[in-house]
Amino acid sequence: MKNPIKVKIIRNEKGLYAVIVAVSMFAIVGLVGLAIDIGYAYMVKTQLQNAADAGALAGAGTIYPANSSPLLATFPPPNFADAEKLANGFVQRNKADV
């Protein structure tokens, strides 16, 4: 008497490795693409940080004239307008993702 619950196991495994390789390649290509995107994001982040630093240093250097001295009785007022223009110019020249 045969047990009706038993399922017949198919032993034909032809083409199984092709399916495994196809699925593995799909996963590998996805991971490589993710690695490239993450690397690109870090590169753009570094470029943006460099642009912000260049603008800040350029603007800070022009707030007060170079020939001003704290020893003088009349210290010149800060020149924020020129500092902002110069800082924006440096940021525009150091764009990211170019």
Instruction: Give start and end residues of each alpha helix (H) in 1-98.
Output: 16-62, 80-93
Residue 46 backbone dihedrals phi, psi, to 5 degrees: -65, -40
The reply to whether 48 falls in a domain is: yes
The reply to whether 84 falls in a domain is: yes
The reply to whether 55 falls in a domain is: yes
The reply to whether 77 falls in a domain is: yes
Q: pTM to 2 decimals? A: 0.64
Domain holding 84, by residue range, is 42-61+72-98
Per-10-residue mean pLDDT, the chain, length 98? 64 82 95 96 92 90 69 73 90 80
The reply to whether 9 falls in a domain is: no
Domain total of the chain: 1
The reply to whether 23 falls in a domain is: no
Give the residue from 65, 53, 66 showing the smallest Cα distance to 93.
53
Q: What is the pLDDT of residue 64?
A: 74
The reply to whether 90 falls in a domain is: yes
Q: What is the pLDDT of residue 3?
A: 61
The reply to whether 7 falls in a domain is: no
